[in-house]
Amino acid sequence: MKPENQTSLTEEQLRDRHFNIELNAERMFSSEPLWESLKAGETDSFEKVFKAFYRPLLNYGIRFNSDREEVKDCIQILFIKIWERKEHLGESDSIRNYLLASLRRLIIKRMSASKNTFIGLDENDIEFHADLSVEAKIIHDQTSVENINALQAAIDKLPHRQKEALFLRFYSDQSFSDIAEVMNISTRAVYKLIYKALDSLNEDLAPYAKSIPFLLALFFSLPFEPVIDLIRES
């Protein structure tokens, strides 16, 4: 039996909820004073950054590794390293890009280590999981199951790097240059990945072409996760 507050959500409410969350977080992501105060050792700023980024980092990380506990460990390790090296952190135009790119490298590095190989994983061999999120499943009550399943099937056909580029573009409206920074590729390569992916989706989902951007944003979204305890120095 589903909770009443979930079944009563409309597509418009879900869209507004998703983008309001990202808008509020974005104001913090681009805050240079917040980054500078973290570098100066302000624990309040460190906590604000951790809480603001925990959800998008977890949502991004589990796309590479479905082991949520491992991804949570990686997020903890990343923030511990940031705190320990705070005096040596450089300037950052986007805290979000810095954290996403850092978490991506850390997860891939630990995945390589777990395979007992001294050779890093080839970018084209890195899997990116794009499964229906909890919120996307909720709209089964307002939208036909066939439409949602069609979206899942169409995304499943895409190469992993196209899935990742779409996730970064539609999950929090990342710019092409932002995506390039996170994925460590050129902006031109990002354009190619996204437009090839959208061409494929438009072909497979012709009847729903106008709704594809909204469906992708909803598809990749996740509800809030409990924020794990911060490790703070006294």
d(CA 179, CA 193): 11
The residue ranking higher by pLDDT, 41 or 123, is 41
Among 25, 55, 219, 14, which Cα is nearest to 137's?
Answer: 219
pTM over 0.75: no
Q: Write out the DSSP string of 139-168.
A: GGGTS-HHHHHHHHHHHHTS-HHHHHHHHH
What percent of the chain stands above pLDDT 70? 68
pLDDT at 146: 67
The residue ranking higher by pLDDT, 160 or 91, is 160
pLDDT band at 9 (very low <50, low <70, confident <90, very high): very low
d(CA 198, CA 107): 27
pLDDT band at 177 (very low <50, low <70, confident <90, very high): very high
- 3-state SS assignment for residue 81: helix
pLDDT tens profile 26-76? 444 445 688 888 888 889 989 989 998 998 899 899 999 888 999 999 999
pLDDT tens profile 142-162? 555 666 678 888 999 999 999
pLDDT at 87: 85
The answer, yes or no, to whether residue 14 has pLDDT greater than 60, is no
Helix axes 11-29, 43-61, angle to 10 degrees: 130
The answer, yes or no, to whether residue 233 has pLDDT greater than 50, is no
Domains of the chain: 10-123 (1.10.1740.10), 134-219 (1.10.10.10)
H or E element: which one contains 127?
none
